Amino acid sequence: MNFFEHQKKARQHTFYLVVLFALALFALIIIVLLFLMGLYANAIHIPLVVFFTDPLRYMESKTIIEIALGVVGFVAIGSLYKYLDLQRGGKSVAIGLGGKQLNYNGATAQERVLLNVVEEISIASGIQVPTVYILEEDSINAFAAGLTFDDAIVGVTRGTVEKLSRNELQGVIAHEFSHIFNGDMRLNLRLTALLHGILLIGLTGWTILRSMSRVRISSSKKGGGGAYIILLGVGLLVIGYVGTFFGSLIKANVSRKREYLADATAVQYTRHPQGIANALKKIAHYSSKLQTPAAATYSHLYFAEGVSSFFSTLMATHPPLEERIRKIEPYWDGVIPDYSEREDKTQKKEAKKAKEEAKKEQKERIVQGAIATTMMHVGEIKEEDIEQVHTEIKALDDAILDRLNDPLGAQAVILSLFYDVAYKKELFELLQKENRYLLLEFANFIKEEHVGLKDKSAFIVSLGLSALKSLSVEQYQHFKIIMEAFIGIDNEVSLFEWSLQYIIERPLEIHLGIRKVSKSSHSHLGALKQEVEVLISMLIQAQYDDEIKAQEAFTKVKKAMYAGALQYCPREQITHDLFIKSIQAIEKAKPGVAERIFEGVLYSVKIDGYVSATESTFVHAVAQLMQVPLPYEFKLGKSA
């Protein structure tokens, strides 16, 4: 099953989720009606048996309908509130759980190992490097959250960092990346938003009881009104528990099978089943339970069971640890090692080793990830080009990697990708005026004369984005002004410059909350006919100066896309503004349409048998735009 099939499966699960939610809501309406009817029967002194024999005799059907609609409205408001809150992306979940963002320069040796593992799995899978958050919890657990690749985050507990070896940590992170890759991440946030409305009923009951606890009830003066309010609060609280029950059942039904798939995909990624198996064994020895009050809200997101449940077998969001281990290790003897006996020695040894190899790790982390993981070609797992990866990583010396892990240094390296020596004086004056510290860093970097850096620009940017995500909105806006000045110094924007600028700005602006992801609205290719014609024609024209050859190549591409209605767009008709409008429209393509367009883009850039640095960077930008894993061969800008 490739990327697009995984995404389709996840969308089918979304429909299944809505059906389950509707059934739970219907059951909740019935329970609320029965409770309020009973309360009303008691208030008018009618025996319950008599009342429920013919409820319409004592209560108008209009009132019953209004109560039902009231429940629906109340749940809808609660779900909408949570949905809007989660529009901030994965960081909303991480912050809600008490997580803090990790940055490479401020990280400990153990935390740097975590950051390196996340980075290597990310690059090998073709998914943008997510922001990493750490939760100060002693248990072993992790989660991935977000609505798109751009706002995805990975959260890890302190216990995970301190208790797991590098191979075990890699297995856990690979598991979380599979949730990103398989479409579970977005599904899980939708589930959280939907269920919040149901759980809100119990929260309302608790709020009523807490507010009434300080109020003195006097039935003689108030006719028992206060007692009825307390009874209402108790009833809503009980109904809330019923809602929690239904919510937990839905979580369990949706997430259990996805956990098995994530384990299998993690083994596929790392080629080291012992890593994730040992991580699960350590969880069995220690614990995966979280103490934060918000833990239950996101229970279906975690690597392992994060909260306790009275009906653990029925409502567990994860399969039993023993079953998960046996799926990975069929011949496991069922024995959980006593890790506490060797914990101190192992931790000290690993901490010392991590410290000694921190510098070495910095250069080798991507190589290890690329070797350990499978190559992703539009969602298809593929093993190849290992030697090429080794060669390319060796070309990135410590001076580059050190800067890419620092916000100021990363800005300097990225600006060098847009640097035109013909405008040296003007650009240096701009930096002198805007940011003297950046000027010094930039001047020192370009003196080192790094050869061939622009050929792997997208690869360089992917390594520097993590550091840039630590910038404040004001700092980023300032850097953006400088970057745009570097790009526009010659009064034109090349395809390479646009592509590189896009893959820098989009993830940073979504992370900082200053850009919203466009909602998918185009469900068939015909709705984007003119825009796709402009895009494919422009890509073909970049490879063929001869108009006849360009038209022949275009015909081959549209046949490969099964889009015979597409018409070639002459180069004199394509302007920069038309290109931008086309891109903005294509960004709104629904997944099935996006797949066909992306295949057309890949076919177009490969049609002459060579992929230039500009074309590779553009494919990177389109992959981001369409939320598709980047085919690995395009990471380094080499010929296909």
> Would you name the residues annotated as active-site residues?
176
CB 378 within 8 A of CB 351: no
**∠ Cα 248 249 255 (to 5°):** 85
* Radius of gyration of the CA atoms of the chain, in A: 28
* Count of CB atoms situated within 10 Å of the CB of 391: 11
Tokens of 443: 């001047």
To which residue do tokens 């369409």 refer? 626
To which residue do tokens 């800008």 refer? 637
In three-state secondary structure terms, 133 is strand
Q: What is the CA 603 to chain-centroid distance, rounded?
A: 28
Give the torsion sign (CA, 230, 234, 240, 244). Answer: positive
Tokens of 473: 């909105």
CB 7 within 8 A of CB 591: yes
In three-state secondary structure terms, 376 is strand
Q: Which amino acid type is present at position 488?
A: G
From the list 389, 393, 383, 386, the residue with the least C-alpha distance to 361 is 393
Distance between CA 177 and CA 119 in Å, rounded?
11
- Beta bridge partners of residue 457, listed in sequence order: none
To which residue do tokens 């060796």 refer? 394
65's CB contacts (< 8 A; 6+ apart) are none
Q: What is the CA 173 to chain-centroid distance, rounded?
A: 13
From the list 464, 502, 476, the residue with the least C-alpha distance to 586 is 502
From the list 137, 77, 87, 599, the residue with the least C-alpha distance to 379 is 599
Distance between CA 451 and CA 528 in Å, rounded?
40
CB 172 within 8 A of CB 288: no
* Count of CB atoms situated within 10 Å of the CB of 79: 22
Tokens of 613: 């640095």
Distance between CA 530 and CA 536 in Å, rounded?
10
Distance between CA 426 and CA 365 in Å, rounded?
38
Q: Is 120 exposed, middle or buried (0-12, 13-18, 19+ CB in 10 A)?
A: buried
In three-state secondary structure terms, 243 is helix
From the list 544, 529, 518, the residue with the least C-alpha distance to 604 is 544
CB 295 within 8 A of CB 307: yes
DSSP 139-169: S--EEEE-SSSTT-EEEEEHHHHHHS-HHHH
* Count of CB atoms situated within 10 Å of the CB of 100: 13
* Count of CB atoms situated within 10 Å of the CB of 392: 21
- The 8-class DSSP code of residue 403 comes to H
- In Å, the largest CA–CA distance within the chain is 96
